[in-house]
Amino acid sequence: MKLLEVENLSTWFHTSKGDLKAVNGVSFDLDYGEALGMVGESGSGKTTCALSIARLLPKEGEVTGGRILLEGVDLASMTEEEIRKRRWKDVSIIFQGAMNALNPVMKVGDQIAEAILLHDKTSREEARRRTAEILEMVEIPAVRAGNYPHEFSGGMKQRTMIAMALACNPKIVIGDEPTTALDVMVQAQILNLLEKIRREYRMGFILITHDLSILGETCDRIAVMYAGKIVEMGTVKDIFEKTAHPYTQKLISCFPNIWGGKTIPEGISGAPTNMLALSPGCSFAPRCDRRRGCCEAEEPRVVQIGEKHFVTCHEASGGGCGV
């Protein structure tokens, strides 16, 4: 059995202007100890996808379809109370912007111990001992547990957030841009740390980011999202070397290549799709330079083009439309 299987997940936001289909039929799976990277532009549904798995959507959001199977148990159909008890033991999140995710008037150690005490019926002493252990794991000396957040540097705060995510030995850790707002040195440190911990404890890891270069470095597989759908998914090699979807190609060409010549990276023309008015066809069609007649009218299907390589594009499904 796979650790996590997401089948045809749809998450809608009920807004005053109508329903916004933030995640629209996404399917993927994740194995023990595997790292999946999710990449895409702002508003493509990466974070919503992660929040749906953790069942932490804001009150306007709703999982309207699909299943989220964690070791065979459907998280999508659980009640709020059932979820509250399982939260953090199954799926934990490393939050974006650790600077604000810590309570300024509470000691760092107490905030980690809080997560342990809320779920395990252990004594305060035991929780404190485990907090010290976890802090050491993320390379923060255990004595610093008595400090307040403002006495920590940015990198230390981010590592504290990682420690907190690991507090209850979760099966899956979701990193929602865990390294944004950190400088490159600290970024590398934190990503190495995460990789080490993931391999040691065979945890599933989902990394959400805008930064393709980070994904290539730390993930086993990559899912590229556009307008609420996974447009291409495959191993790092598949995505970077056998790129199949026009959007992925454009995304990769947006990053300067260290081996390439002195060219200005080309952008992607046009604007992101209006998620409130999705066209019946491929959402990327208006911005795609390889679009054909049927692209705007017919929705492309998911096509398997390699062992683990899937793409959602008319071009890949036999080269013609209507196939």
Partner 1 sequence: MDYKEFRFRKLKDFLHAVRNNKIALFGSVTLLFFLLVAVFGPIFVPFSTMEFGEVEDMLLPPGGEHLLGTDDMGRDVLANLISGARISLLIGITATAISMIIGCAIGIVSGYFGGRTDQLLMRLTDFFLVIPWLPLMMVLAAVLGTSIWNIIFVIGITSWPGTARVVRAQTLSVKERQFVERTISIGAGSGHIMVHHILPNVFPLVFANTVLVASVAIVSETTLSFLGLGDPNHASWGMMLHYAFECGAASAGAYWYYLPPGICVVAVVLSFTLMGYAFDVILNPKLKGR
Q: Write the single-letter amino acid at 143.
A: V
Phi/psi of residue 20, nearest 5 degrees: -105, 120
> Toward partner 1, which CB reaches closer, 135 or 212?
135
Q: Can you name the residues that pair with 29 across neighbouring β-strands?
A: 5
Q: 145, 132 in Cβ contact below 8 A?
A: yes
> Toward partner 1, which CB reaches closer, 86 or 287?
86
d(CA 19, CA 36): 28
> Toward partner 1, which CB reaches closer, 104 or 280?
104
CB of 4 to partner 1, least distance (A): 18
Q: Work out whether the CA dihedral 79, 82, 87, 90 comes out positive or negative.
A: negative
CB of 170 to partner 1, least distance (A): 11
Give the contacts of 81 (CB within 8 A, at least 6 positions apart): none
The helix/strand/coil state of 82 is helix
d(CA 102, CA 108): 8
CB of 107 to partner 1, least distance (A): 7
Instruction: Order the strands of the 204-209 sheet from edge to edge.
Output: 91-94, 172-176, 204-209, 35-39, 221-226, 229-235, 310-312, 302-304
CB of 118 to partner 1, least distance (A): 5
CB of 94 to partner 1, least distance (A): 10
> Toward partner 1, which CB reaches closer, 85 or 242?
85
User: Where along the sequence are the contacts to partner 1 (CB under 8 A)?
Assistant: 54, 56, 84-88, 92-93, 95, 97, 100-107, 114-115, 118-119, 143, 146-147, 151, 164, 167
Find, among 93, 323, 130, the residue nearest to 208 by Cα. Answer: 93
> Toward partner 1, which CB reaches closer, 104 or 261?
104
> Toward partner 1, which CB reaches closer, 94 or 197?
94
d(CA 167, CA 57): 22
> Toward partner 1, which CB reaches closer, 27 or 147?
147
CB of 271 to partner 1, least distance (A): 29
CB of 210 to partner 1, least distance (A): 20
